[in-house]
Amino acid sequence: KFDWTMTAAGEPIDEKDVVVCFGLCCCNAGIATSKCLGVATEATCLCFEHNCCLKPGADCMWCSAGGGGGKICQLGLGICSIGLVTPSTCCKSQAQCCCLVESAALPPDSEIRAVIAILGLSLYPKCGCCIRLNDVGAPPSPELASGAPEGMEMTGRAP
């Protein structure tokens, strides 16, 4: 049974329900496996933010000042809003139309990570097929400059 409502955190797009289909560094596209009914967008460019949500269970977006989470002010008309936020990235966007989901960020961040995938085959940062967006994870941590495992040293001698 599909759950057509918003996430528990009030987010219109739930990354754990999105299977990655395509990705090219800072943008990706996938298919939502639940919460597929409706249309939602979240977009930020520098200090400007735009939101729109036509999903069951979504709260109305009205005019407000403050509100936490970096929001400065917002002008809302129920299903959409524009506002000013404290800048956290150059630009970021997430959108869903029924089961199709896209997201992009420049530069990529902890919410929208860099992904390389084609036809459901993920190549970076995690290899696999039909991986969920939240399972893609962060890029692998850099190894030591010497290339040796932690606590070991490369000597150039054969064991």
Residue 10 pLDDT level (bands cut at 50, 70, 90):
low
* Tokens read off for 120: 């459901």
Share the mean pLDDT of the chain. Answer: 80
Residue 4 has pLDDT above 50, yes or no: no
Residue 128 pLDDT level (bands cut at 50, 70, 90):
very high
Q: Is 121 left (phi over 0), alpha (psi -120 to 50) or beta?
A: beta
Report the alpha-carbon distance of residue 79 to residue 77 in Å, rounded: 6
pLDDT mean over 32-45? 89
Residue 2 has pLDDT above 80, yes or no: no
Considering only CA atoms, give the Rg of the chain.
19
φ/ψ (deg, to 5) at 112: -120, 100
Token look-up 């970021």 returns 92
pTM score over 0.85: no
Residue 102 has pLDDT above 80, yes or no: yes
